Structure 1
Amino acid sequence: MSHLLEVRNLSKSFGGLQATKDVSFTLDEGEIVGLIGPNGAGKTTLVNLITGVLSPSAGSIVFRGRDVSRQRPWQAARSGLARTFQIVQPFPQMTVLENVAAGALFAGAASSRAQAEREAMEHLEFVGLADQALRPATALTLPSRKRLELAKSLAMKPKLLLLDEVNAGLNTAEIDKALALMRTIAARGITILLIEHLMKVVTSLSTRVLVLHHGELISQGAPQAVLEDPKVVEAYLGSKFAARLAAQAQETGVEHV
């Protein structure tokens, strides 16, 4: 069976700095895969490579059976690759509705502005922002901007959605709402690659986890197995977290924190 995405021996250097080194993995349709690692591990660089923001120094990216290693970001968006950004930056001179309609019009194949706006309203209803559609995007709170970012990405009709720390800065209730949205998105058949630092989010959502450290993929597999991997404990989690995780699993049978 062919994979939705194949990353093959992907490397990226900036002068003498090796941001990613010989990274290989696959994603299949409908998966939610977590991508974790310390700050500076190369996670955002990897997403930038997949979405055409950067070109690889070596290796290849195959999406839906086609080599997309050298595509530009607009080509990635139109091919079914969408992403959110860690620092949300809506189009400041546009309304909430216009922000989402832009994604539908320029990457989601909407045939007219009217159709784009109709589709945009559907996505805003899905993320809970329909009542703020006509507000300036800059007037939104951080949690609402995060949901706007998600709506913009969904308007592009992605096959693969790359989420870069969409839960950063949110409180517990807001994170729970975000988790529900992501589960619903995956249920629609959209594959999700999730960059995340919150282990609760990673372990409760992901079918598999990838771990980057110093640009290298040091572990991948089922969440519990990865979080118990000595290399991951040493590089990222720390012995105290590993001991707490093991104790919780023993006492309650719950795999996530």
Structure 2
Amino acid sequence: MTEILRLENVSKSFGGNHAVNDVSFSLEEGEIIGLIGPNGAGKTTLVNLITGVHPLTSGKVIFAGEDVSKQQAFQAARRGLARTFQIVQPFPNMTVLENVAAGALFGGGTGSVQDALESAHQELKFVGLDAVADTPASALALPNRKRLELAKSLAMRPKFLLLDEVNAGLNASEIDGALDLIRKIAARGVTILIIEHLMKVVLSISQRILVLHHGELIAQGDPRTVIEDPQVVEAYLGSKFAARVKAESHHV
């Protein structure tokens, strides 16, 4: 497989606070990777560094063979690095269609407004929101706002998609629908990094898992190896959860 993203000793400090400290890993095209860790571990900060929202204090970000360490957010989007946000904030006075078209026009590099609208229609159909295309984004309930966020990101034609707690606030049925959608996105050839607190979700969808704690990468590997790692159990999972998942796996 071909490497699509590599971080080399990436760090970010805010004053004296080391939010991300000397993180290195590489990801391959087509993978679905889970990123887990306690609140405040540096997960969202790491995504912000990868996508150019924050400048790096030190280290390198290599995307598709190119050093993009100094890129800005709009440059990341145009290179094919798209992301969703933990707190979904669509343009409330614009329609659902206009929200997605904005992503296509300014992030996806479409040549005209008409092309952007056509791309937006396609992505809304893909995520199941074509019936509410002309509805104001402010009128959508949370599950559909989450789908709108995905459609906006997909309209940017990403090669790599970072999902920041896309399942937060959803019920069990809505989470199942979101996971089906994520798998369909991956089937397009998009590499996905998903930040997630629900371990059942992470274990069901991730091929590999990265674990952050106090800004440091303390473990990485296949899901089974990671959840049995003593550092991960102590820092995040807890011994009861790890034992339960291990027991369940022996009955599968």
**Distance in 2 of aligned mates of 1:109 and 1:243:** 48
Q: Which residue of 1 aligns with 2:53?
A: 53
SS at match of 1:135: coil
Of the structure 1 ranges 108-117 and 18-27, higher mean CA displacement relative to structure 2 is found in 108-117
Written as runs of structure 1 = structure 2, the 5 A alignment for 1:183-222 is 183-222=183-222
Give the whole-Å Cα distance in 2 for the aligned partners of 1:44 and 1:101. 26
- Aligned equivalents of 2:105 and 2:241: distance in 1? 46
Cross-structure match for 2:108: 108
Supply the distance in 2 between the matched residues of 1:114 and 1:75 (Cα, whole angstroms): 23
| Deviating more after overlay: 104-113 vs 152-161 | 104-113
Say which SS state the counterpart of residue 33 (structure 1) adopts: strand
Residues 102-135 of structure 1: per-residue CA shift (max 9 Å, x gap): 0111111211111111110110011110011001
TM-score by length of 1: 0.97
Counterpart position of 2:140: 140
Structure 1 residue 69 corresponds to structure 2 residue 76: no
Amino acid at match of 2:96: V
| Structure 1 residue matching 2:174: 3-state secondary structure | helix
List alignment gaps of at least 5 residues for structure 1: none
Determine the C-alpha separation between the residues in 1 that align with 2:127 and 2:157. 15
Give 1:242 shift.
1.2
What is the Cα deviation at residue 240 of structure 1? 1.1
Contact 1:123 1:151 in 2 (8 A): yes
2:116 is paired with a residue whose SS is helix
Deviation per CA, 1:39-70: give whole Å up to 9, x if none. Answer: 00000000000000001111000001111111
Report if the CA contact (8 A) 1:96-1:134 is conserved: yes
C-alpha displacement of 1:2: 5.1
In the alignment, structure 1 residue 27 sits paired with structure 2 residue 10: no
Partner of 1:9 in structure 2?
Answer: 9
Mapped partners of 1:167, 1:215: distance in 2: 23
Query: Using the alignment, how far apart are the partners of 1:110 and 1:246 within structure 2?
Result: 48
Structure 2 CA distance for aligned equivalents of residues 62 and 2 of structure 1: 13
Q: For 1:104-253, list aligned pairs within 5 A.
A: 104-250=104-250, 252-253=251-252
Aligned partner letter, 1:247: A
TM superposition outliers: structure 1 runs of 4+ over 2 Å = none
**Aligned twin of 1:98:** 98
Q: Deviations over 1:6-47 (max 9, x none)?
A: 000000000110001100011111000000000000000000
Percent same amino acid among aligned pairs?
A: 69
* More divergent stretch after superposition (104-113 vs 150-159): 104-113
- Which is worse superposed, 201-210 or 106-115? 106-115
Cα RMSD for the two superposed structures: 0.8
Contact 2:2 2:29 in 1 (8 A): no
The answer for unaligned runs of 5 or more in structure 2 is none
Contact conserved, 1:2 with 1:65, CA < 8 A, in 2?
no
Partner Cα separation in structure 2 for residue 102 and residue 227 of structure 1: 40
* SS of alignment partner, residue 162 of structure 2: strand
Question: Normalization by structure 2: what TM-score?
Answer: 0.98
SS in 1 for 2:135: coil
Amino acid at match of 1:198: L
| In structure 2, C-alpha distance between the alignment counterparts of 1:2 and 1:20, rounded to whole Å | 26
- Letter of the 1:93 counterpart: N
Q: Does 2:75 align with 1:44?
A: no
Asked whether the equivalents of residues 209 and 221 of structure 2 are also in contact (C-alpha less than 8 Å), the reply is yes
Distance 1:245 1:205 in 2: 15
Aligned residues between the structures? 252
**Whole-Å Cα distance in 2 between the matches of residues 140 and 249 of structure 1?**
38
